[in-house]
Amino acid sequence: MHEIADVEQALRRAAPHQLVSVVEDALRKHCDARRVELRLADYGVRTLQLVERTPGATLSVPIHDSPQGRAFGAQEPYITRGSDAILVHLPVTVRGDRLGVLTAVLPPGADVAAVLPGLVQVCEGLGHEILVAERDTDLYVLARRATRLTLAAEMQWQLLPGRSCARPEFALGAHLEPAYAIFGDNYDWSVSDGRLTLTVTNGMGEGIEAALLTNLAINALRNARRAGLDLADQAALADQAVYAQYRGSAFVSVLLLCFDLATGEVEAVDAGSPRLWRLRGHSVESVSFEAQLPLGMFEDSLYVPERFTVRPGDRLLFGSDGVYAAVSPDGESYGERALARALSGTRLLPPTHVPQAVLRELAAYHGGTSLDDDALVICLDWYGAPSTVAV
């Protein structure tokens, strides 16, 4: 396909809700595509949901047992050939954030090898335009829903930066459960000026009250970060904001980390319950910090940062108390031994797959019954600066 630039221009000019139609028209013209389908991953990352209703198309397909799911999971094109058509399934991903899968239905005699590079480029452009279009249309947000969100979950999902992120220095994936009824757990990240800032939060309470509390804390932390404050002052400003609103009657637990992308030096402020484990080689250990006061518990709390270093090849796992404090039918907490086993057992999986794998292990450990709290898992693989060599 030599007309990729034309397709990208058409996507930029298109109405927000017509991106799929633009891609379909372009692929009909340039590679005789018969049909195009776009599916986005649902909030639970269990199904791929059709964005626009297409005659004869299945509205929802499972991620773990479908050709589209194979493309989504492997993040590579997956091709199925039939007697009357060739189906090319391509991941739609933006900066490591896996959005969904585009399926192009081509004639049986199509030269897939010739058009595949162009299709991949179209998917890259489509992904970027979806993120821009979401400011002006609900189409893509609605497509992600396999069922209705609670209002609290709606508020929490709107806060999140994405479900995954990748850079030359690191890759990370995150997941929240129950996906459609989140309470106070949340996360945030930002990459700029040679640094990755990662925040793991847990607001007390349930439902709307927990969502409002977490919204206040996350936005206060963002406001402080964007003002150029260091990590300790970010925590202090957010602490003041929460205390001013709730006067100590509600508070937010938070783990704040700032990674130097060039050196792997990490500054951390531990102000509550989220915890960190590190897989280095075949050894798993809990990384402990000096516990400091949660945000908003008292007026004018002071926060002191601590430091540690990550090495290329390290895998870090962050979990909320809904993960490590969950108990088995025998009364043993998941964080005592089972979490370390789960982290070791998933070491060959990419970081985008690990949070859900750990949460599946957690559900089985809990006896298959519903968890008593929402659960948050983040997995971060550290590669180091491109010139860094592991020692």
The three state secondary structure string of 75-108 is: CCCEEEECCCCEEEEEEEEECCEEEEEEEEEECC
Torsion of CA 20, 25, 29, 35, to 10 degrees: 60
Q: Give me the pLDDT at residue 55, please.
A: 65
Residue with tokens 């890759």: 171
Q: Give me the pLDDT at residue 2, please.
A: 56
pLDDT tens-digit series, residues 180-225: 988 889 999 999 989 999 999 998 888 999 999 999 999 999 999 9
The residue among 76, 83, 82, 88 whose CA lies nearest residue 113 is 88
Regions in the chain scoring below 70 on pLDDT? 1-2, 53-56, 388-391
- Are 377 and 318 within 8 A, CB to CB? yes
- Are 351 and 161 within 8 A, CB to CB? no
Q: Give me the pLDDT at residue 386, please.
A: 87
The residue among 59, 72, 64, 58 whose CA lies nearest residue 46 is 64
Q: Give me the pLDDT at residue 391, please.
A: 44
The residue among 363, 355, 357 whose CA lies nearest residue 381 is 355
pTM: 0.93
Q: Give me the pLDDT at residue 1, please.
A: 47
| The pairing of beta strand 375-382 with beta strand 315-319 | antiparallel
Q: Give me the pLDDT at residue 59, please.
A: 87
Q: Give me the pLDDT at residue 374, please.
A: 87
Q: Give me the pLDDT at residue 371, please.
A: 72
